[in-house]
Amino acid sequence: MHLTRRAFTAATAAALAATSALASPARKPIVIAHRGASGERPEHTLMGYRLAVDQGCDFIEPDLVLTMDGVLVVRHENEISGTTDVASRREFAIRRTTKFIDGEKIEGWFAEDFTLAELKTLRARERLPDLRPGSAKFDGREAVPTFQEVIDLATAESRRVGRTIGVYPEMKHPAFLASLGLPIEARLAAALKTNGLDARDAPVFVQCFEAAPLATFKTLSKARRVQLVGAGNPAMVSAEGLKAIAQYADGVGPDWSMVLPTLDGALGPPSALVADAHAVGLLVHPWTVRAENRFLPAKLRRGTSLAEHGDAEAVFLALYAAGVDGVFSDFPGLAVAARG
């Protein structure tokens, strides 16, 4: 069901005001469910998003790629063998191919080589089964969702729980998709407009690692934009780099280690990133805090297995103390509990 802006606003006006307030540095930080509750359910599944809502998240995050017929669908990457059963489907064996994406040679099956109808025959599965065997138990239960289905879920869940659940879509590989004649920016802007989300105060942030698509998106939609930054690009979050980002974005999403450097296997003092970003009017939403030992500094690990959970709470608490405006996590329940 597609909702008009008036219908969406009428259903969620009070909660929207609360969510907008959460995005201010003066308010408590938002919790963004990274690909849903992806530490406990296969990522980018509707069941994972619903669990994240039950755990108290404020936003759910869908990564967006495109099908051959130009439909926005939700996958971590356009290469889909890691998150679906496509490799076991004989009818699609011929679709296996090699592509060069953002300078990297990648072999597999790609969303843009499937129609939506074909993609819907596949089933989602856990991307990290060795680390997350509990999540892998849910393999095969759901199809790949469209972006519209995620928006509809957010709207329905907002009504169910009595607070606004925002959406935080990421444009994946937009330059590559544009080279195939599948530009993603206009399609995303149109989807937001159709669903009454083309507004500065709408419960939505649009994110991307590429700067040019965000600048383009600024001309197409009033929705807020966030520049993602990897740990290997520190110049981008220097004081001067942040000033440049502020020309086309409303926030910055750095790797969390850029806010909290690790020293001798432990969390060190916060960097200047949050203060510098706030000085030029940018929100700061670092990514992605995960609970497993594999993703934590040595001194925060517990037990001997990389799959065991360490002291992720220490990371959340340190990020909140550093003044971040939000945080991405595969375990939104832990992020909410630490915030509380």
Cα separation, 282 vs 276, in Å, equals 9
Q: Are 196 and 8 in contact (CB under 8 A)?
A: yes
Would you say 21 and 124 are in contact if contact means Cβ atoms under 8 Å apart? no
Alpha helices in the chain (DSSP H): 5-22, 46-54, 116-119, 133-136, 147-161, 174-179, 185-194, 211-218, 239-245, 273-279, 312-321, 332-339
pLDDT, residue 27, reads 81
In a domain, residue 54? The reply is: yes
Give the number of domains in the chain: 1
Q: Is 76 a catalytic residue?
A: yes
CATH number at residue 42: 3.20.20.190
Residues contacting 264, CB < 8 A, separation 6+: 299
What pLDDT shows up at residue 268? 96
Q: Is 173 known to be catalytic?
A: no
Residue 101 lies in a domain: no
Q: Please report how the helices 147-161 and 5-22 are oriented relative to each other, as an axis angle in degrees rounded to 10.
A: 70
In a domain, 95, yes or no: no
Model confidence over 286-334: pLDDT tens digits? Answer: 999 999 999 999 999 999 999 999 999 999 999 999 999 999 999 999 9
Query: Of 76, 173, 285, 309, which residue is the catalytic one?
Result: 76
Q: Which of the following is catalytic: 34, 44, 285, 309?
A: 34
In a domain, 24, yes or no: yes
pLDDT of residue 144: 98
Angle at 295 between CA 25 and CA 125, to 5 degrees: 100
- Provide the domain limits for residue 293: 5-78+129-339
Tell the residue number behind the tokens 């509380």, with chain if given. 340
pLDDT at res. 26: 52
Three-state DSSP class for 124?
strand
Residue 177 in domain: yes
Mean pLDDT by 10 residues, the chain (340 residues): 39 37 62 98 98 98 98 98 98 97 96 98 98 98 98 98 98 97 98 98 98 98 98 97 98 98 96 98 98 98 97 98 98 97
* pLDDT for residue 51: 98
